[in-house]
Amino acid sequence: LGITIISTITVKMHSSMKYLRSKLCHYMRPKCHPIFYDSNINSLGTVRLNIYQAFLLCAMKFHCYMRSMPYSSISKPELLHVIKKTFRYMHSLIVSRMQDMELQSNVRPVLKLRRKETNWLGLSAYIRVLQKKQSRYKDLLALLIAEAEGYGHMDRDSDSLCYAVDDSHSSMFWKFKY
């Protein structure tokens, strides 16, 4: 591919956590189109894979933003809060857009997705991406893993979640340079 993720983002010289949160949520907006999550046209596995892949790329962009921000002592719990906020934002926006589509047209999309699944997929994606940059994110990874453990092994209980996080379905993402 030859494209680096860093070349696709704009970073202000005096970036802040508020800016980071804004950029990550802004990135998620186009990824929340109802067509990606409507269970009338997508299998449960595909719906969850679409979410997981959106978070994979979001996590890569997160790394690029963090690498580009001037060094400061950003607390890891604060970073975790920003990351979790993108999960909540994405889920709420998907729900809202599904409802809007129903109100504005004859289309009746069906969303078979729980908030905790969105959160778990987001955590799984961030853990997967940041593990490749382990030395830089050791403390943040520990927080992300602890948070994910709170959800248990959701992939063991759900074929569609197991399908979504299977690396073979997202192999193209590992060709990106970040």
User: Are 51 and 118 contacting, i.e. CB atoms less than 8 angstroms apart?
Assistant: yes
Count Cβ atoms below 10 Å from residue 175 Cβ, excluding itself: 9
* pTM of the model as a whole: 0.87
What is the block-wise mean pLDDT of the chain (178 residues), using blocks of 10 residues? 64 67 88 94 97 96 84 83 96 95 85 96 98 92 97 90 96 80
Strand partners, 177: 4
pLDDT of residue 157: 85
pLDDT of residue 19: 77
Q: 129-134: long-range contacts (C-beta < 8 A, 24 or more apart)?
A: 129/56, 129/59, 129/60, 129/62, 129/63, 129/178, 130/59, 130/63, 133/63
Domains and CATH numbers, the chain: 5-175 (1.10.357)
Distance (Å, rounded) from C-alpha 1 to C-alpha 66?
23
Which token pair is 106? 């004859």
Q: Please report where in the chains the tokens 């994606």 appear, as a residue.
A: 125
pLDDT of residue 10: 64
Task: Indicate the helix (H) or strand (E) that contains 160.
Answer: helix 159-165
pLDDT of residue 155: 83
pLDDT of residue 73: 66
- Which residue, 113, 91, 110, is CA-closest to 41? 110
